Amino acid sequence: MIGYDCMARDVMMLVLKERRRQEQLKKEGKFYFDCGEKAVSHIRKLAVLSEEFGEVAKLICDLDSSVKPTFTTEELRKELIQVAAVCVAWVESLDNED
């Protein structure tokens, strides 16, 4: 289990790094909002998550098509980390609803 724990920790650190990146992009004005904000509706958060998930789906569909895959494992990994970070942000907003 030590190997699994180390891998999981490494992945969680990447998710945290992505969350920080998302917050920075918002501060820089590249995003209007961040899914960690309590004031953002669940519908808008769902739209963001759907867009991120859609990017993963497109990569996978391209892989399963008859066309040669146009992405790398690293690109898929990056998109999955972004999906996880959006989910974390959304949970943070729920925890901030005190």
Q: Would you state the pLDDT for residue 59?
A: 86
pLDDT of res. 97: 61
Alpha-carbon gap, residue 73 to 1, rounded angstroms: 24
Positions in the chain whose pLDDT score sits under 50: none
Predicted TM-score (pTM) of the model is: 0.85
- Other beta carbons less than 10 A from residue 29's beta carbon: 7
Q: How far apart are CA 12 and CA 29, in angstroms?
A: 26
pLDDT at 35: 95
Structure confidence at residue 48 (pLDDT) = 97
